[in-house]
Amino acid sequence: METGLIIAIATMGGLGLLFAGGLAFADKKLRVTENPLIGKVFEVLPGANCGGCGKAGCYDFAVNVVEGKAKINGCPVGGNETAEKIAQILGVEKGVSEKMLPRVLCRGGNKEAVKKMTEYLGPVSCEAITIISGGDKLCAYGCVGGGDCVNACPFDAMYMNDNGLPEILEDICTGCGICAKVCPRNVIEMHPATRTVFVLCKNQDEPKTAKEVCSVACIGCGICARKSEGGIEMRGYLPVINYDKLDEGLIPFDKCKTGAIVNLKKLS
């Protein structure tokens, strides 16, 4: 009996040692030298894998940051907080990560926009709507109200309001920019949160047509550009804001006939 016990112990011990030796050898041969910093950086990232940084996911971003190929403040979701943590891990100065927000540059909801004679009854998706007929509204530049942006938002930071336009919950929004990417008409643009002056219209039609398709369209009168002293420039029938030169005080917001140019700061 006792010999059996000893044999059992010896056999199992021997087998264990054999496998342990084999694994130790394999470990030496196959060891992957991964920078331990990558794991640490990965841990402080939000883990949403949204791709807002332009990398294939949070892990890929971590690898790039550690290798110096991506900026420390490159994660728009984590913002300053994450940038600070990464900076601590890597022992470098952090840059200031500017919070980006999507802006819906169209005010032509169901009330304002003029409808076509026919009604759109196809699939409710902006992509389908733009391909098939352009939707109910006459305006060929504005929001079609299919809600692709709302559906694409991974953080539930958007909703469609009663007027059929998307609204952004700025507190929840992380600025990943997915909504701007899915918008087939590029009505949604990403801007730093500090920017407050926007032309909330994308209509490039000539003034007469613009007036006919939407009550709040920019009619391209150019008054904002003339008064802005270079801060705003007319391109075709639409004013384009040069945020570097813009002086908010010069813009005659109340002179805009359709109210297409707004200062969000004053609205709220």
Partner 1 sequence: MEVILIFISAAIINNFVLSYFLGICPFIGVSNKISSAFSMGIATTFVLTVTAIVSWLIYFMILLPFKLEFLQYVAFILVIASLVQLVEMVIKKVSQPLYRALGIFLPLITTNCAILGLALFIVLRNYSFIESIFFGLGAGTGFTMAITIMAGIREELELANVPDAFKGAPITLIVAGILALAFMGFSGLL
The footprint of partner 1 (CB under 8 A) covers 4, 7-8, 11-12, 15-16, 19-20, 22-23, 26-27, 30-32, 59
CB of 34 to partner 1, least distance (A): 8
If the CB atoms of residues 23 and 172 are measured against partner 1, the closer one turns out to be 23
CB atoms within 10 A of CB 104: 21
Sign of CA dihedral 112, 113, 117, 123: negative
H or E segment to which residue 58 belongs: helix 58-66
Counting every residue, how long is the chain? 268
CB of 24 to partner 1, least distance (A): 10
CB of 31 to partner 1, least distance (A): 8
If the CB atoms of residues 27 and 244 are measured against partner 1, the closer one turns out to be 27
**Beta-bridge partners for 192:** 100
CB of 47 to partner 1, least distance (A): 13
If the CB atoms of residues 11 and 242 are measured against partner 1, the closer one turns out to be 11
Q: How far is CA 144 from CA 108, 127, 167, 265, in A?
A: 9, 9, 14, 26
Residues 6+ apart with CB under 8 A from 132: 120, 122
The whole-angstrom separation of Cα 96 and Cα 83 is 8
Question: Whose CA is closest to 176, among 72, 87, 49?
Answer: 49
Measured between alpha carbons, how far apart are the two ends of the chain, in Å? Answer: 88
The whole-angstrom separation of Cα 136 and Cα 156 is 26
CB of 49 to partner 1, least distance (A): 11
If the CB atoms of residues 19 and 243 are measured against partner 1, the closer one turns out to be 19
> Residues 36, 89: contact at Cβ < 8 Å?
no
CB of 22 to partner 1, least distance (A): 7
CB of 50 to partner 1, least distance (A): 17
If the CB atoms of residues 58 and 143 are measured against partner 1, the closer one turns out to be 58
Instruction: Report residue 51 CA to chain centroid gap.
Output: 9
If the CB atoms of residues 30 and 117 are measured against partner 1, the closer one turns out to be 30
If the CB atoms of residues 110 and 125 are measured against partner 1, the closer one turns out to be 125
